[in-house]
Structure 1
Amino acid sequence: MFDAAARRLIDPPLNRAGARLAAAGWTANGVTLLGLALGVLSALVIALGAPLLALIPLLASRIADGLDGAVARATKGSDFGGYLDIAADFMFYGAVPFAFVVLDPAQNTLAGAFLLFAFYVNGTSFLGYAILAEKHGLETRAQGIKSLYYSNGILEGTETIVFFVVICMFPAAFPALAWMFGMLCFLTAGLRIYGASRIFVDKGPSA
């Protein structure tokens, strides 16, 4: 919901930093993998019992997630780079809730499973929409220049990062917050599927 507004604020400094990284020899894929490694490290730190400390690699991983696109724009982007970026994002999004389940299985397992279920459904609605949008030549740059169509929704990357920061700061609240965030994920997916039914229903044969 807030990604487009956030992009307008963060893209200029990210683009400058990305240009410097590109000039220093960094590749977009290298930055993507660094961001993924930092995200996995944050999940490991959470699982080991230090969620507040995990904020350092977690936030660093999200900075890297923004920088990889900036490096790509300063050099030569690729479809594989966009694919790697979204795959790394989904790995990170799954790793953090799983880490909270490992941290406290007795309290967090059911809520964590529900949250991962909601992420799965929401991610499927997002990627399926992107496939149809590509098929029918739709384009949007509301979230910046991307390798695939980014459909907006109630919950986007900005909201997910804020949610991860909050549960790291208040780990005891994970179950309640996970249930609420998961329900909002289902609502986002439902609205996206409804939107797809309005846009694509007459645009081609059904599966």
Structure 2
Amino acid sequence: MAGAFWLALGLIGLSRLADGLDGAVARALGPSDFGGFLDITADFAFYGAIPLAFVLHDPAANGAAGAFLLLSFYINGASFLGYAILAERRGLRTRSHGVKSLYFTAGLLEGAETIAFFVALCLWPAQFAPLAWAFGALCLVTALSRVLMARRVFQR
């Protein structure tokens, strides 16, 4: 928010290290429902904090693109969590992303792509708006693909 993009880049790295360590702890001690809940909640807070910081840094230049990006994250997150809830209700299981507390559906954009996007924003902060519009559009494609998959999988 203050324009310290190199510091932000370092903090992103530290947050991803902490995110990786919590998975290692869960594997060592055994996963818990609360741990899974806390993990996804922290991930979503992180995903919202980065665009918000860019919007607050320069509202005139980044406001509309940042709002669109946050909307796309919101829709994508809802499609992800909605799918996970219905998959759990139906007893579906997958290990394609390793053992997780929630059912993970594949998408065009996932965690690694989002982290790479956030790194790109810190490296080229003046390009926030075009990058946010493009990434937001791809998030909506991911959400739409998940909706179409849910329609196919969850029809009665």
On whether the aligned pair clears a TM of 0.5, the verdict is yes
The percentage of counterpart residues that share the same residue type is 62
- The equivalent residue for 2:82 is 128
Unaligned runs of 5+ in 2: none
State the one-letter code of the partner of 2:99: I
* CA deviation vs aligned residue, 1:125-181 (integer Å, no higher than 9, x gap): 000000010011111111111001011100000000000000000000000000000
Structure-1 separation of matches of 2:140 and 2:27: 33
From 25, 35, 44, give the equivalent of 1:90: 44
* CA deviation vs aligned residue, 1:19-59 (integer Å, no higher than 9, x gap): xxxxxxxxxxxxxxxxxxxxxxxxxxxx0111122111111
State the one-letter code of the partner of 1:97: P
TM-score calculated relative to the size of structure 1: 0.74
- The equivalent residue for 2:120 is 166
- The equivalent residue for 2:107 is 153
RCO (CA 8 Å, sep 6+): is it higher in 1 or 2?
Answer: 2
State the one-letter code of the partner of 1:171: P
Structure-2 separation of matches of 1:177 and 1:57: 20
Structure-2 separation of matches of 1:195 and 1:160: 21
What is the DSSP-based 3-state SS (H/G/I as helix, E as strand, rest coil) of the residue aligned with 2:93?
Answer: coil
TM-score calculated relative to the size of structure 2: 0.98
Q: Which has the greater radius of gyration?
A: 1
Aligned: 1:61 with 2:53: no
Structure 1 stretches of at least 4 aligned residues deviating more than 4 Å after TM superposition? none
Length, aligned pairs only: 156
- After superposition, residues 1-207 of structure 1 pair within 5 angstroms as 47-202=1-156
Structure-2 separation of matches of 1:189 and 1:196: 10
Tell me by how many angstroms 1:68 deviates.
0.3
